[in-house]
Amino acid sequence: MDDTVTADPPARVQPASAARIGIGGPVGSGKTALIERLIPELGQRGIECAVVTNDLVTKEDALRLQRSGLISPDRVRAVEAGACPHTIIREDPTLNIAAADELSRQFPGASVILIESGGDNLASTFSLDLVDYWMFVIDTAGGDDIPRKRGPGVVRSDLLVINKTDLAPHVDVDLDLMQEQADAVRSGRPVILTNCRDNQGITAVVDQLCHDVLFVDA
Ligand SMILES: Nc1nc2c(ncn2[C@@H]2O[C@H](COP(=O)(O)OP(=O)(O)OP(=O)(O)O)[C@@H](O)[C@H]2O)c(=O)[nH]1
Ligand SMILES: [Mg+2]
């Protein structure tokens, strides 16, 4: 008698779903500029991505990325936020979840979906129903007192990016002090300085994402 136990066929291996990474921050701090720098750096490491943008009543940022030549235009979706950009990333993120789901279905090889919030104030945060991880982007020209003001984005984001370091000397910002004050309110969560104009600090951001959210060696 054949007493071999026939095992159930192995469950189909599901591709790990794409990590959803939110990018929030005040108007003009450099969220889209950061995405423009992250896409090639991720690509060099073999990490495919797709992008969801949120603008108030236009598709400006999506069009900018689609025309950039950095990413296939069909990997970029625009969500129009209407009057309150934070509402659709926090209170009711349904539209953003639908856009990210659609990109995941269409591009199963994508490991990362970057979700740019519409530019908002220091209080904006992401719903954890929408993202696995979120960055908050501020810039030196917004003032070195921003970390001291302890807004939720500065304090609670997984990664704080202080962009436009090139402008610091022109706006009398002491970068070391700004970083020190940011560190002081973040209970050990990371802070990275970037200059998206000259592509500085981007490697450090991608290293951090690889370590914290993609779980691949940097
Ligand atoms: N000097 C300098 N300018 C930058 C840097 N990063 C972005 N900018 C400029 O800052 C302006 C705003 O950048 P965006 O990337 O559009 O900012 P954003 O946060 O996406 O803006 P919204 O989506 O409108 O909230 C643009 O003119 C960028 O060229 C930087 O590191 N240094
Ligand atoms: Mg933008």
Tokens matching residue 111: 């490991």
Asked whether residue 136 is assigned to any structural domain, the reply reads yes
With residue 112 as reference, give the H or E element that holds it: strand 112-116
Is the beta carbon of 37 within 6 A of some atom in ligand 1? no
Residue 14 lies in a domain: no
Whether 208 is in the pocket of ligand 1, judged by its Cβ within 6 Å, is no
pLDDT at 128: 96
Angstrom CA distances, 36 to 32, 70, 124, 172, 201, stand at 6, 7, 22, 27, 13
Give the pLDDT of the chain (218 residues) as one tens digit per residue: 444 444 444 443 344 589 999 999 999 999 999 999 999 999 999 999 999 999 888 899 999 999 999 999 999 999 987 878 888 899 999 999 999 999 999 999 999 999 999 988 888 899 999 999 999 999 999 999 999 999 999 999 999 999 999 999 999 999 999 999 999 999 999 999 999 999 999 999 999 999 999 988 76
First to last CA, the chain: 54
Tally of structural domains, the chain: 1
Q: List the one residue out of 124, 208, 198, 113 whose CA is nearest residue 163.
A: 198
10 Å CB burial of residue 168 (0-12, 13-18, 19+) is buried
Question: What's the pLDDT at 22?
Answer: 98
Cα 161 from Cα 142, distance rounded (Å): 13
Which residues neighbour ligand 2 (ion) by CB within 5 Å?
31-32, 61
What pLDDT is attached to residue 218? 64
Q: Tell me what pLDDT residue 84 has.
A: 83
Is there a domain that residue 2 lies in?
Answer: no
Residue 140 Cβ inside 6 Å of ligand 1? The answer reads: no
Task: Please report whether residue 6 resides in a domain.
Answer: no
Structure tokens at 14: 């599901």
Tell me if 13 is assigned to some domain.
no
User: Which of 64, 70, 164 to mutate to test ligand 1, by most ligand atoms within 8 A of the CB atom?
Assistant: 164
Q: How far apart are CA 127 and CA 88, in angstroms?
A: 9
pLDDT of amino acid 16: 57
What tokens does 113 get?
């979906």
Backbone angles phi, psi at 197, to 5 degrees: -65, -40
Domain assignment of residue 4, yes or no? no
Strand ranges across the sheet with 19-24:
76-80, 49-55, 112-116, 19-24, 133-139, 159-163, 191-193
Q: Is the CB of 117 under 6 A from ligand 1?
A: no
The domain in which residue 165 lies consists of 19-214
Decide if 18 contacts 110 (C-beta within 8 A): yes
Does some domain include residue 12?
no
3-state secondary structure at position 135: strand
- Give helix then strand counts, H and E, for the chain: 6, 7
Question: Can you give the CATH number for the domain in which 28 is found?
Answer: 3.40.50.300
Helix (H, G, I), strand (E, B) or coil at 166: helix
Q: Establish if 8 belongs to a structural domain.
A: no
Alpha carbon of 30 to ligand 1 centroid (Å)? 3
Q: Check pocket membership of 22 for ligand 1, CB cut-off 6 A.
A: no
- Token pair, residue 205, equals 């951001």
Q: Give me the pLDDT at residue 95, please.
A: 94
The string of pLDDT tens digits covering residues 87-132 is 889 999 999 999 999 999 999 999 999 999 998 888 889 999 999 9
For ligand 1, atom 11: residue with the closest CA: 28
Q: Is 171 in the pocket of ligand 1 (CB under 6 A)?
A: no
Q: What pLDDT shows up at residue 13?
A: 37
CA 108–ligand 2 middle distance (angstroms): 25
